[in-house]
């Protein structure tokens, strides 16, 4: 096939793949994505950074070859840098090495080398070298510096910094799962991109927030953060202005939240829904932002995205067979996985439920929320259909929750 390489700066090309019809990744919904790989041309050596996912090889090879065609040069790859071994960035690495230069130098973290072997079982005979923070290679007029970045988002993750031009190839960090024909941040509004980056962070990076905080501090202390002029991640748009995403990563990793409460509910005969609506009205009466999710229609990935910068949540489910409605159970599982407490954000939770007789939903949700790191602020357990007095109580509980986050 034919596919065009995109020049980022002189001698640096995006040669990745666009996965137009991908709809899920790590269990959350996406509108397609990109697997970004980069070709860096030096006076002495040419370097291919990262690789692509299954089904994407033809597009990737076509772009690599187009980059050399644009330069008017024969194809010559001397060095492969692999920042991370997850399959969306490594599926064709061995094939690419065999295709272009089986004797090439290969650089990756020691964990990445181990993980490549564990996944593909065919890396033992290559000229592969372990590198980390402090290591660098000279490719002729250009220097690639390596920065270990464990848990961002696997133990093998690494950044590669093109020192002279200030381009940070950050792999998964600072990415977005979006899909379009443009490659740069300034092709879109910053609000849109930050929104997509927030979804990506909330669902994929939240758990690693403590490590991210340390990494940002390390980059600040070393002065490297001031040398970064561009961030080229492995998914989504390239940040020609890195400042908005670096600022947001710092806020998300440090648990900076808005005066905002996310309500999550499911309902059987609309009684729990009435409580959700009244709680929302109570919160809004205090001029606090509300996001509302109905779990018969909405996805946990969007809920997680909004909880990231919410100071509190309200979560409601009818009781069914002495337990919460099952879709709320799925939501609880996600909350436990992402671990918002790692950001340092202490989020309060209001639990509400309509039951027929014995109940059980509130107690189960309370146990699960506490295990997931939330502080249970209050509960409201209602018998069958809420009357006006109960609706007033729900409104007041919304007011109290809103006031608590403003204190």
Span near ligand FEO by CB under 6 A; candidates 82-90, 111-119, 221-229, 294-302 = 82-90
As measured in angstroms, the least distance from the Cβ of 140 to ligand FEO is 30
Residue 406 burial (CB count, 10 A):
10
Letters for 166-205 (x = contact with ligand FEO by CB under 6 A, - = none) are ------x---------------------------------
If the CB atoms of residues 112 and 128 are measured against ligand FEO, the closer one turns out to be 112
The whole-angstrom separation of Cα 191 and Cα 223 is 28
**84 counts as catalytic:** yes
**387 counts as catalytic:** no
If the CB atoms of residues 157 and 345 are measured against ligand FEO, the closer one turns out to be 157
How long, in residues, is the chain?
407
* Partners of 171 in beta bridges: 233
- Nearest Cα to 159, choosing from 143, 145, 142, 176? 145
If the CB atoms of residues 87 and 256 are measured against ligand FEO, the closer one turns out to be 87
- Nearest Cα to 55, choosing from 14, 4, 18, 30? 18
**121 counts as catalytic:** no
As measured in angstroms, the least distance from the Cβ of 161 to ligand FEO is 19
**88 counts as catalytic:** yes
φ, ψ for residue 272, nearest 5 deg: -65, -30
Q: Which tokens in the block code for residue 377?
A: 């602020």
If the CB atoms of residues 108 and 317 are measured against ligand FEO, the closer one turns out to be 108
CA distances from residue 356 to 253, 368, 392 in whole angstroms, order as listed: 42, 22, 20
If the CB atoms of residues 88 and 368 are measured against ligand FEO, the closer one turns out to be 88
| # residues contacting ligand FEO (CB under 6 A) | 9
- Nearest Cα to 364, choosing from 377, 376, 346? 376
Residue given tokens 């090309």 in the structure block: 13
As measured in angstroms, the least distance from the Cβ of 35 to ligand FEO is 7
Catalytic residue, from 50, 66, 172, 393: name it.
Answer: 172
Catalytic residue, from 84, 156, 293, 301: name it.
Answer: 84
Residues 226-255 that bind ligand FEO (CB under 6 A): 234-235
Kindly tell me which residue out of 42, 64, 82, 86 binds ligand FEO, with binding defined by CB under 6 A: 86
The whole-angstrom separation of Cα 296 and Cα 287 is 27
**71 counts as catalytic:** no
36 half-sphere exposure, CB direction, 13 A CA radius: 34
- Nearest Cα to 228, choosing from 217, 240, 237, 218? 240
Catalytic residue, from 19, 107, 235, 306: name it.
Answer: 235
**Is 63 among the residues that bind ligand FEO (CB under 6 A)?**
no
Catalytic residue, from 50, 66, 86, 301: name it.
Answer: 86
Q: Which residues are catalytic?
A: 26, 84, 86, 88, 153, 172, 200, 235
Residue ranges binding ligand FEO (CB under 6 A):
84, 86, 88-89, 153-154, 172, 234-235
């Amino acid at each position: 096939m034919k596919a065009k390489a995109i020049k980022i700066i002189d001698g640096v090309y995006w040669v990745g793949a666009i996965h137009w019809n991908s709809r899920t990744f790590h269990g959350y919904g996406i509108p397609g994505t990109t697997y970004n790989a980069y070709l860096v041309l030096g006076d002495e050596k040419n370097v291919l950074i990262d690789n692509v996912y299954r089904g994407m090889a033809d597009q990737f090879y076509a772009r690599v070859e187009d980059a050399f065609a644009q330069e008017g040069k024969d194809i010559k790859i001397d060095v492969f840098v692999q920042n991370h071994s997850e399959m969306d960035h490594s599926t064709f690495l061995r094939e690419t090495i065999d295709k272009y230069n089986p004797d090439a130098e290969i650089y990756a973290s020691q964990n990445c080398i181990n993980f490549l072997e564990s996944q593909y079982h065919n890396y033992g005979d290559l000229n592969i070298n372990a590198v980390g923070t402090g290591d660098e290679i000279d490719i002729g007029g250009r220097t690639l510096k390596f920065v270990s970045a464990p848990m961002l988002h696997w133990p093998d993750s690494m950044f590669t910094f093109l020192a002279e031009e200030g381009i940070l190839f950050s792999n998964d960090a600072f990415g977005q799962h979006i899909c379009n024909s443009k490659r740069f941040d300034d092709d879109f509004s910053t609000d849109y991109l930050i929104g997509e980056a927030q979804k990506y962070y909330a669902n994929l990076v939240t758990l690693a927030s403590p490590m991210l905080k340390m990494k940002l501090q390390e980059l600040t202390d070393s002065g490297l953060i001031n040398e970064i002029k561009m961030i080229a991640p492995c998914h989504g748009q390239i940040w020609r202005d890195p400042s908005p995403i670096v600022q947001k990563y710092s806020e998300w990793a440090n648990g900076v939240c808005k005066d905002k409460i996310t309500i999550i509910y499911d309902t059987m005969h609309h009684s729990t829904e009435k409580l959700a609506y009244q709680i929302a009205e109570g919160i809004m009466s205090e001029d606090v932002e509300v996001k509302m999710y109905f779990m018969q229609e909405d996805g946990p990935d969007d809920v997680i995205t909004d909880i990231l910068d919410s100071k509190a949540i309200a979560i409601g489910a009818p009781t069914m067979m002495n337990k919460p409605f099952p879709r709320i159970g799925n939501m609880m599982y996600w909350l436990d996985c992402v671990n918002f407490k790692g950001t340092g954000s202490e989020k309060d939770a209001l639990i509400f439920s309509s039951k027929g007789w014995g109940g059980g939903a509130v107690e189960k949700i309370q146990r699960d929320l506490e295990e997931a790191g939330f502080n249970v602020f209050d509960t409201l357990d209602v018998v069958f259909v809420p009357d006006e007095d109960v609706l007033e109580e729900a409104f007041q509980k919304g007011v109290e929750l809103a006031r608590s986050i403003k204190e």
